[in-house]
Amino acid sequence: MGSENCPELEARYNVAPTQLAAVVVAAENGARRLVQMRWGLVPNWTDTPRAGHGMINARVETVAERPAYRESLHQRRCVVAADGFYEWQRLPGGKQPYLLRLVDGAPFGFAGLWDCWRDPSGTLLETFTILTTTANALVKTIHDRMPVILSRQHREEWLSPGIEMSALSRLWQPYSVSAMEAVPVSDYVNNVVHDSPACLKPIQLQTIRGLF
C-alpha cells in the first residue's frame, strides 16, 4: 500500500494506549497518508478528550451501532501499521504475555477508525481505535478476541470511500490461522516504559504456530 506522505518513524516495540502510533488514512485526492495519531478514539462531538481512554478497541459486532464509532465507520476508516501485537494468557500463577505475528515476519495492518477532536482554542487532536473480532484457533488458546488484520488487498478496500457498508463485514473476519504464530515473551513487556527490542525476546516456552 503506497503513501504520498511517508514521514520517517522510529521503530516501536511496545505501543500503549494514549501513545502515538503510525496510521494510514485516505487523502481527499485518493492518495494515502501516513500520519501519527493517539491510540484511544475521541469522538469529535465529545466535551473532553478523556473519553478516548476507554475507546482503544471497537468490537466489529457492535461498531455500526455505537454512536462513538458510527460516523467514523462510514467516513474515517484507517489502517494501523504493525508487525505484531501482544496478548496475555491467564494462568494459575498469573498472566503469560505472547507476541502474535505472521510466520514470515511481514508487516501488516489493523483495521481502524479515526476521528479529529478540536479543543476550545482550536488545537486538533487526531485519535484512532482498533477493530477487534473473534479470535482464530491460534489466538483463542491465549485470548478470545483479536485485532482485525487486513491483507494487502483488503487494506485498499478498507480505505476505499466507495465500498458498500454491507461489504465491510467480509473484511473483518479472523485472520488465517496458518499464517500466524504466538511467541512467548517475558513480563518485561508489561511495563509501558519498556520500548526496546528486549520486549520481543522469546523465553523458554513453546512457540504456538497456526497448524490447526
Identify the pLDDT of residue 86.
98
* Digit-coded pLDDT (tens) for 88-139: 999 888 899 999 999 999 999 999 999 999 988 889 999 999 999 999 999 9
Which pLDDT score, from 0 to 100, does residue 212 have?
44
HSE-CB for 15 with a 13 A CA cutoff = 22
Task: Give 197's pLDDT tier (boundaries 50, 70, 90).
Answer: very high
> How far, in Å, CA of 120 to CA of 47, rounded?
10
Q: Where are the beta strands (DSSP E) in the chain?
A: 20-26, 32-39, 57-59, 77-82, 85-91, 94-102, 108-118, 124-134, 145-147, 149-150, 180-184, 208-209
Is the pLDDT at 185 greater than 90? The verdict is yes
Tell me whether residue 88 is in a domain: yes
99 burial type by CB count under 10 A (0-12 exposed, 13-18 middle, 19+ buried): buried
**In-domain check, residue 117:** yes
Q: What is the pLDDT of residue 205?
A: 78
pLDDT band at 3 (very low <50, low <70, confident <90, very high): very low
pLDDT score recorded for residue 72: 95
Please state the domain count of the chain.
1
| Pick from 11-20, 160-169, 183-192: least confident | 160-169
pLDDT tens figures, 13-36: 999 999 999 999 988 777 899 999
Range of the domain at 195: 20-209
The verdict on residue 51 lying in a domain is yes
DSSP state letters, 166-179: HHHGGGGSPPPGGG
CATH number of the domain bearing residue 151: 3.90.1680.10
Report whether pLDDT(12) > 80: yes
Reply yes or no on whether the pLDDT at 209 is more than 90.
no
Q: pTM of the full predicted structure?
A: 0.91
Quote the pLDDT of residue 115. Answer: 96
pLDDT tens digits for range 40-83: 999 999 888 876 567 999 999 999 999 999 999 999 999 999 99
- Residue scoring higher pLDDT (208 or 146): 146
Residue 6 located in a structural domain: no
Question: What gap in Å lies between CA 163 and CA 105, rounded to an integer?
Answer: 30
CA distance 200 to 186: 8
Q: pLDDT tens digit string along 131-143? A: 999 999 999 999 9
Domain assignment of residue 13, yes or no: no
